[in-house]
Structures are given as structure tokens and as C-alpha cells.
Amino acid sequence: MTRTVLWALLSHWRRALLQLFTLIAGLALATGLWSGVQAINAEARASYDVAAATLGEGRYARIEAASGGEIALADYVALRRAGWQVSPVVQGRLGEVRLVGIEPLTAPGGIGPGAEDADIAAFLSGVGQLFGRAEALDALPALDAERVVAPDVAPGTVLTDISVAQRLLERDGVDALLVAPEQPLGRADLAEIAPDLALRLAQDGSEIGRLTDSFHLNLTAFGLLCFAVGIFIVHGAVGLAFEQRRPVLRTMRALGVPLGRLVALMVAELTGIALVAGTIGVGLGWLLAASLLPDVAATLRGLYGAEVAGGLTFRPVWWLSGLGIAVLGTALAAGAALWRIATMPLLAAGGRRAWAMADARSARWQGALALGLIGVASALALWGDGLVAGFGTLGAGLVGAALALPLLLGAVLAAAARLARGALAQWFWADTRQQLPGLSLALMALLLAMAANIGVSTMVGSFRQTFTGFLDQRLAPELYIETADDAQARTVEAFLAPRVRSVLPLASVEIEVAGLPAELNLARPDPTYPENWRFLQSVETPWVRLAAREGVLINEQLSRRAGLGLGDAVSLGPRAELPVLGIYGDYGNPVGQVIVTEALFAELHPEIVPRRFGLRLDPDEVPRIRAALIAEGVAEAAITDQAALKRFSLQVFERTFAVTAALNVLTLAVAGFAILMSLLTLAALRLPQLAPVWALGLTRRRLAALEMLRAVLLAALTTLVALPVGLALAWVLLSVVNVAAFGWRLPMALFPAAYAQLGLFALLAAALAALWPAIRLARTPPAALLGVFASER
């Protein structure tokens, strides 16, 4: 019996190939977009983890020079003699490759060459060995050291013995000392042995991982939205398939097929389809990830300095999760339909209900549910707290808006029908309204796709605009220089003082504020700051009061995390407790920051001589000053002009945009596909509705044109609804999710031209989707239309 019933169930798809294609394609696209994004995330995270494992980053405390320079060999030796279990690390770049030198005998466990057959003697002696991935080793210039392929080493990194690294990098000192977790008791304090060095405590997880979380969170949110769009397509296809089979299922039950067996076989049938579509989807996701990953890797490298391999690795976890999400999505999409089958009375009306034809009662329920969800979203946005509330707002708001769409469109079309003059116009509006239930799922998919596009574009655009403004603020000096040592710093500053408008020293030191890690920066009293910096909140004349040592400035992250507001005291040491004078935006920086005036900084940290300077001068003077500095012995690479820095930063954003734009286009394409499939599926059901109008004198060509117009009109109305939904989505991402996840809020900017362009794309997608069904209608033979009037079949 099982075989017979399964055969009969599957025979439906043989006769409804388009429907099967819609179902598989929708599910595959949804899974593909989701798993593609997951693949990118998984690959990037795996790269960070390898990087963290290679360098012990985050896992071990580090000792670094307080001024940011090298650690002298003598300090290292002094610490070892005092009992400190520390291991030196030196880092530098050889061409495009990062070279990391470690001391394997003293390095904490788990750090070092990852190859299982690593020969420690060869690593330490002779010309040395270079461990790295094949592509990193290939990118090295010609060197005498032996190259050993080690896939476990971080992408773009080559690991070697510290002496080899120093020789190749032409360096004497070390960059940092890794501090082993187990340390002998009673050892002398770091400040006694090496007062110039500072201890950075171990952190939970990889620092790079936290830095890039924002990017991945956005990608994940985008992947989820794409998946939701796909699931709408699947829901439509499954709903239609089940609706069409209702009479057949009733017949089968009447002929003696038990309900339980029937439902179980339908679940098996759908699971099989989900697995096939899921496999295709994961393959598509792989292709998507492979094509986007080089751009993502470049973005992450530029934005956060994180190295991510440019290629994909086979990761069974995301293959399995892709298949899992396909099955889950099918269950979500088909759950309601299966439930209807399972609870359908055997003697229910056997006639075919119009597909998804909502009666007045279900429309009321849908309206109530939509209102309820929008209410929940608003309440969460206003009073909720944290990431869960943020994502709850997003989910409830988007689903609520999608459910409300058909009702809104229905109301608009009803109003248009009332205003219509002439028989054809009246028929057009009434017929469009009748089409709405059949098209509503596709239009909901379009709404979600458009809202996602508007939301994510607004978010990324706001980020770019804010960050550009922020760069203008922070990169106000025309030139930046970095001196080699304290002596050169003093000489250069004296040299520059009479030649430029202002010399702004830059230095920072790591401190703790309210138990949180933060960095202390200095600001020299200068008009540059009040002219360029913008505060989120501040007292009157904050810069004047800062210069008078009456307080400090803090960034938004520190303000939110430590709960510090204007006037609250910040403790910078036993004798320095000062109120907050201003809070400034510090976008993209994960660390809290405090700014004090230069004199106070020097008093708190007399050991630090600022070695970096920002120079204010006439832009025309830049080439002359640059040449003079080089003549004074400042390395050419240590002089950066502001324009180059900005150009670099903006390039990073362009790459981010490239990824976002690619995903935007894909989501819109998926929504267009949803419309196409709905129109094609409805085309067959449309004949009985169109045939009487044709018989009354409307040509097939005219009918086809009206069908096109109808699709474009519905897409236009959907676009109008999508705009506020997308802007609300952007607001939640910027003001709720971003704040909860990263501690800073981005001001929201609007991009009307981009929205208009997106609207045009949506109309184009709808027109293209409607084109094929319209052509088919225009070419429908009169016999097919006449068949509608035949009573026999």
C-alpha cells in the first residue's frame, strides 16, 4: 500500500513540473543564500581561530612597550631572571606575508609550528624553517630558510624561530612577550623590573573575532532575511501543491488509505524534496561564498587587519547545517498545510478551494496577527534591552508587515475600484483584487526583499557617511608622522614648531576605567579639536575646560559600558579623578577611550614621549614639509598624508559595499523569481477568469498588457509599503542591534536616490517576471479559451 500511495503522491509532481521546479528552486535559493553567508562567516571565524592559536592572541597575557615600540632584549632577560615565564614574539611583513618569530622552547603550550612531524632542531638551528600555508610560502621573496607547508598556520602568516625572524626583518628587539598562565609566586612586579613595559591581560576569545563581529552579525542578519524570502516562495509552492491535491487526498482516504500513513508519506515526500533542494542549495551557497570570499577577505583585512583565507575549505558542519535549514524551512513552510491535511474531515467539501483564497474570517485573523506583531515589535523597540530584544523587534516587525501587506493592498485596490469609471477599469481593479490572494505570498517575499535592501543599504550607507565624517574629524591634520625613537621625536618636534601651523602629539597608554580596559589618549590645546570634533553630548566649551584640566572626554563605548554620563567622575589614578566633559562617537573602535589634556597626560605617564604627530599646515605646503622631514631623517614610510589615509579607508568601504550590493541583487532576484513562479502557476487558473472577458471583446494582446500592468502596479504598491518597513529595519539595526552588540549608535542617514533606484529595479523585476506569462497569454490559442465554456471536461 505504501508504494502505491507514494507513487500516486509523486505522480502529482510529474504532471506539475513547474510547481516542483518552483519548490526546489525556492528552497535551493533560500538555502544557498543562507549557507553561502554561513560559509563566509565560518571561513572567516576559522581563520581568526587559527590566527589566535598561532599567536596565542587573546588566550595569553602580553607584555608590550608602553610607548608602543620594541622591547629591548635586556628587559626580556631581566624578566626571565626575575622568574617571569615569558616568551618573546617578533612580527613584521615580508612583502605581502606577515612573518611571526617565536621562541618555541619558552612559548606557552599550543603555540608554534603546527605540522605533526615538525623537527624542533631544524626549526631552531641552521638557516631555520618557515612554516606556513602553501600560498603564503609562495608569496615570500627568495630566502635561504627551508619552507615547510603547515595548513594549521593562520592565512597570510609564516611562522619561524625568533632569531630567523629578526635576521629576515633586520630587527634586534622583540614586539611583545607572551605571559604563560602559570607564574611563580613572589616574583618582582613588572613596574620594578621594566617600568617602560605594560601588561595586557588575557581576554576571552579572539580580539579580531570581536572586532569583526559587527560585520558578521550584519551578514548573518542578511542571510536570515534572504532565507525568509526563499521560505515565502516555498510556502507558496507547497500551499498550492497541497491545495491542488486536496480532492485527491480525500479520494485516497475514501478508498481506504489511513490518514496517518497519508500524512507520514507526505512528510517523507517533502523531506526527500527538501534534501534534494538543500543539497543543490548548499552547492549554490558554496559557489556564492567562493565568489564573494575574496572581497570579504579584503574587507576584513582592510577594515580590521584580520587575515582570512581567500579560498573555501570543505566544512561538514555547514553542509549539514545547510541541509538542516532546508528541512527546517520546508517544515516551516509546509507545517500549516500539513496540519490542514491532518485535520481535514473526510467528508469536507471536496471542491477545490481557490488557492490561498482568504475568506473574511481568516483575513480578520491575519489583520489581528499583523497588528499584534507590529505592536510587539514597537514595544520591544521602545522598552526592550539587548540583542535578543533587537532581533525580536526585527523578526516581529518584518513578519507583521508582511502579513499586513495583502490587507493594505486590498484596501487600496478596493478604494481604486470605487473611484474607477468605465467597465474595463472596474473589471481591472476588481480582477486585480481577486488576484491578490494568489499573489500575496510572492508580494510578501518582494516586500521582505525590498525592506532588507533598503534596511541594509541604509545601514551600510549611514555607516559610510558617519565614518567618512568621523575620518574628516579624526584625520584633520594634513600630515601624520611617526618617529623612530624618543630622541628623534624631540628633534623633529622642535624642527617643525616654527614651520607648520600646529604640531599635535599623539600617544596612548592602556588603562582600566571602572574595571574595564580602556586607552588613555592626549590632546594638545589647539583650535583643530574644537573646529573638527563633534560631540554626542558635552558641557559648555569642553575643549577650554579640558585644557584647564577640569575634566576628561570619553568615547561612546566607555560611556555606555561603564554607565558614565556628563559630570560623572573618571578615576585615572590615586590623585586624578575628573568629571566627564564630553562624550564623542568613536565608530568601529571596540575599546573604551579617555582623552586628557597633554599636560595631565605627561604628569600621569612621564615615561611616555609621544612619537607620533599630526601636523596642521597649508595643504600646498605638504610636499615641501614632507621633503624637509625626509631630509631631517624621518623615514619616508613614516610620513602619511591625510588624503592617502582617507582613500584607503574609503576603499575598504567600497569592498564592503561590493559584498552588500551582490547580496542585494541576489535577494531582489529571488523575489522576482517568486513573482514569476506565482504568475506562471496562476496562469492556468486564470483562464476561466479571462475567457469571458475575451469573449466579450477584449483581445488576447490587450489582456496580456493588462496582466503586465497589474504585476507592475502591485510591485509599485509593495515598494511604497517596503520603504517605511526598510527604514524601520535600518533604525532597529543602527539604534538597537548595533548598540546592544557593540556599544555605539550610528546616526541614521537617508538616501532617497538609492531608494528610487531600488524601486525602479523592483518594478523592472516585476515587469520581467510578468513578461513570460503575459506572452503565453497573448499566444493562448482561442480553442483553449473556448474550452473554458465547454461543459464536458
- Comparing CB distances to another protein, the nearer of 418 and 793 is 793
Judged by CB, which is closer to another protein: 8, or 609?
A: 8
Asked if residue 321 lies in contact with residue 286, where contact means CB atoms within 8 angstroms, the answer is: no
Contact between 251 and another protein by CB under 8 A: the answer reads yes
Which of residues 201 and 346 has its CB atom nearest to another protein in the complex? 346
Binding segment toward another protein, per CB under 8 A, in 9-17, 23-31, 495-503, 561-569: 9-17
Among 97, 176, 234, 252, binds another protein (CB under 8 A): 252
* Contact between 790 and another protein per CB under 8 A: no
Residue type, 187: R
What span, in angstroms and rounded, lies between the C-alpha atoms of 90 and 160?
10
Residue 8 or residue 748: which is nearer to another protein going by CB? 8
- Classify 61 as helix, strand or coil: strand
Residue 502 in 3-state DSSP?
A: strand
- Closest approach, Cβ 224 to another protein, in A, equals 36
Rounded Cα distance, 89 and 597, in Å? 34
Instruction: Indicate whether 238 belongs to the interface with another protein (CB under 8 A).
Output: no
Whole-angstrom Cα distance, residue 203 to residue 604?
A: 25
Task: State the nearest-atom distance from the C-beta of 258 to another protein, in Å.
Answer: 4
Q: Quote the CA–CA distance of 404 and 679 in Å, as a whole number.
A: 21
Q: Which stretch binds another protein (CB under 8 A): 8-16, 176-184, 495-503, 687-695?
A: 8-16
Does an H or E element contain 160, and which?
A: strand 157-161
Residue 126 in grid coordinates: 641552521
Q: Interface with another protein includes 256 (CB under 8 A)?
A: yes
Could you tell me which residues come within 8 angstroms of residue 335 by beta carbon, excluding any fewer than 6 positions away?
A: none
Q: Considering the complex, state which of residue 343 and residue 418 has its C-beta at the smaller distance from another protein.
A: 343
Residue span binding another protein (CB under 8 A) among the ranges 1-9, 176-184, 488-496, 766-774: 1-9
Part of the chain binding another protein (CB under 8 A), chosen from 220-228, 249-257, 370-378, 748-756: 249-257
4 in contact with another protein (CB under 8 A): yes
Q: What span, in angstroms and rounded, lies between the C-alpha atoms of 118 and 128?
A: 12
Min dist CB 788 to another protein, Å, is 13
Q: How many residues does the chain have?
A: 793
Closest distance between another protein and the C-beta of residue 208, in Å?
56
Asked if residue 14 binds another protein (CB under 8 A), the reply is yes
The three cell numbers of residue 754 are 538609492
Q: Tell which one of 11, 125, 291, 689 touches another protein (CB under 8 A).
A: 11
Cβ(667)–Cβ(449) below 8 Å: yes
Which residue among 77, 134, 254, 348 contacts another protein (CB under 8 A)? 254
| Cβ-Cβ contacts under 8 Å for 436 (sequence gap 6 or more) | 406, 409, 410, 413, 714
Q: Does 248 bind another protein (CB under 8 A)?
A: yes
Nearest residue (CB) to another protein, 3 versus 418: 3
Q: How far is the CB of 757 from another protein (least distance, A)?
A: 45
Q: According to CB under 8 A, which residues from 340 to 359 bind another protein?
A: 346-347, 350
Using CB under 8 A as the binding criterion, the count of chain residues that bind another protein stands at 29
Q: Which stretch binds another protein (CB under 8 A): 13-21, 508-516, 557-565, 745-753?
A: 13-21
Q: How far apart are CA 262 and CA 228, in angstroms?
A: 28
Nearer to another protein, 133 or 250 (CB): 250
Nearer to another protein by C-beta: 5 or 44?
A: 5
Least separation in angstroms between residue 267's CB and another protein is 18
- Residues 6 or more apart in contact with residue 98 via CB below 8 angstroms: 91, 92, 156, 157, 158, 307
Cβ proximity to another protein, 251 vs 571, nearer residue: 251
Q: What's the rounded Cα separation, in Å, for the pair 319 and 279?
A: 8
- Residue whose C-alpha cell reads 612573518 in the numeric block: 99
Can you list the pairs that 128-135 forms with residues at least 24 positions away whose Cβ atoms lie under 8 Å? 128/160, 128/161, 128/163, 128/164, 129/160, 129/161, 129/164, 130/158, 130/159, 130/160, 130/164, 131/158, 131/159, 131/160, 132/97, 132/157, 132/158, 132/159, 133/309
Q: Per-residue contact track with another protein, 258 to 287, x per CB under 8 A?
A: xxx---------------------------
Taking residues 303 to 342 in sequence order and writing x for each that binds another protein by CB under 8 A, - otherwise, the string is ----------------------------------------
Min separation Cβ 342 and another protein, Å: 12
Stretch that binds another protein, among 160-168, 199-207, 243-251, 546-554 (CB under 8 A): 243-251
CA distance 566 to 243: 63
Query: What burial letters (b/e) apply to 760-788, b meaning 16+ CB within 10 Å?
Result: ebbbebbbebbbebbeebbebeeeebeee
Of the residues 59, 250, 524, 710, which one makes contact with another protein according to CB under 8 A: 250
Which uninterrupted H or E stretch holds 149?
strand 146-149
16 near another protein (CB under 8 A): yes
Question: Near another protein by CB under 8 A, which window of 251-259, 441-449, 575-583, 726-734?
Answer: 251-259
Euclidean distance between CA atoms 4 and 18, whole angstroms = 24
Q: Does 781 bind another protein (CB under 8 A)?
A: no
Contact call for residue 8 and another protein (CB under 8 A): yes
Quote the CA–CA distance of 729 and 688 in Å, as a whole number: 41
Binding residues for another protein, per CB under 8 A?
Answer: 1, 3-5, 7-8, 11-12, 14-16, 247-248, 250-260, 346-347, 350, 792-793
